[in-house]
Chain A
Amino acid sequence: GNSVTQMEGPVTLSEEAFLTINCTYTATGYPSLFWYVQYPGEGLQLLLKATKADDKGSNKGFEATYRKETTSFHLEKGSVQVSDSAVYFCALSGGNTPLVFGKGTRLSVIA
């Protein structure tokens, strides 16, 4: 079945540091890939998405590129801010199947 593996957290960075959160997936066919973010005490929000190989999703300075050859969708940001502190979830959707999430990576950014 479909599955997502993302790096274990927590990740603690200083403000303006570079962020990478690794995500790899296993799926049949050609899934769509997503990053969702959960701020403290809130529900998940879509951060970015990519629907086919080599697509790059981007939003709020975050980027991720759909790499079919390595089955990866790593999240990056060049300069993190304190307000980026949250839990980040990589997820995939295989057509009509519900979203399958990775285990989440908690990011803490300190000033």
Chain B
Amino acid sequence: DTAVSQTPKYLVTQMGNDKSIKCEQNLGHDTMYWYKQDSKKFLKIMFSYNNKELIINETVPNRFSPKSPDKAHLNLHINSLELGDSAVYFCASSQATPGLYTFGSGTRLTVV
């Protein structure tokens, strides 16, 4: 039973396309996150949701839109993909204790 699962694991797509990445957690956590990891392994927070409500929205292009249908799911939709969007996207979840996150295994997005 995977605690935080992301699909797909790999995604190769052309510039200009629209794509979605899905994330589900079965830990009962209240808070979920999307992080972007660039080619140099730098991790940057993109969004954070608590009980389906957006609480953190970092400086991310409007082309990125998170959606949380319930507290166990946080999906990421990306419009008009650009070459610079190529990265590994990680979903994570946490409960009350600050900083104790469970991460998914990542989605490697390649825009060609």
By beta carbon, the residue of chain A nearest B43 is: A101
Known: A98-B33, A98-B48. A46 touches B41 (CB 8 A): no
Known: A43-B4, A43-B106, A98-B33. A104 touches B42 (CB 8 A): yes
Would you call A77 an interface residue if the criterion is a C-beta within 8 Å of the partner chain's C-beta atoms?
no
Give residues of chain B (19-68) contacting chain A, Cβ–Cβ below 8 Å: 33, 40-43, 45, 48, 56
Confirm or deny: A42 has a beta carbon within 8 angstroms of a beta carbon on chain B.
yes
CB–CB B42/A43 < 8 A? no
Contact A44 B90 (CB under 8 A): yes
**B40 near A103 (CB under 8 angstroms)?**
yes
Residue count of chain B within 8 Å CB distance of chain A:
19
Interfacial residues of chain A within 96-111, with CB under 8 A of chain B in the complex: 96, 98-101, 103-104, 106
Report whether A91 and B99 are in contact in the complex, using a CB–CB cutoff of 8 Å. yes
Within 8 A of A (CB), among B61-112: 90, 92, 98-101, 103-106
A residues contacting the other copy or chain, number (CB 8 A): 25
Cα-based distance from A79 to B42 in the complex (angstroms): 27
Instruction: Give chain A residues whose Cβ lies under 8 Å from the Cβ of B56.
Output: 98
**Least CB distance, B44 to chain A, in whole angstroms:** 8
Q: In the bound complex, how far is the Cα of B90 from the Cα of A103, in angstroms?
A: 15
A95 lies within 8 A of B103 (CB): no
- Chain A positions within 8 Å of B, measured between CB atoms, are 32, 34, 38, 41-46, 49, 87, 89, 91-96, 98-101, 103-104, 106
A-B contact pairs, 25 of them (CB 8 A): A32-B98, A32-B99, A43-B92, A43-B104, A43-B106, A44-B90, A44-B92, A44-B101, A46-B100, A87-B41, A89-B43, A91-B99, A92-B99, A95-B98, A98-B33, A99-B45, A99-B101, A101-B42, A101-B43, A103-B40, A103-B41, A104-B40, A104-B41, A104-B42, A106-B41
Please report B residues at the A interface, Cβ cutoff 8 Å.
4, 33, 40-43, 45, 48, 56, 90, 92, 98-101, 103-106
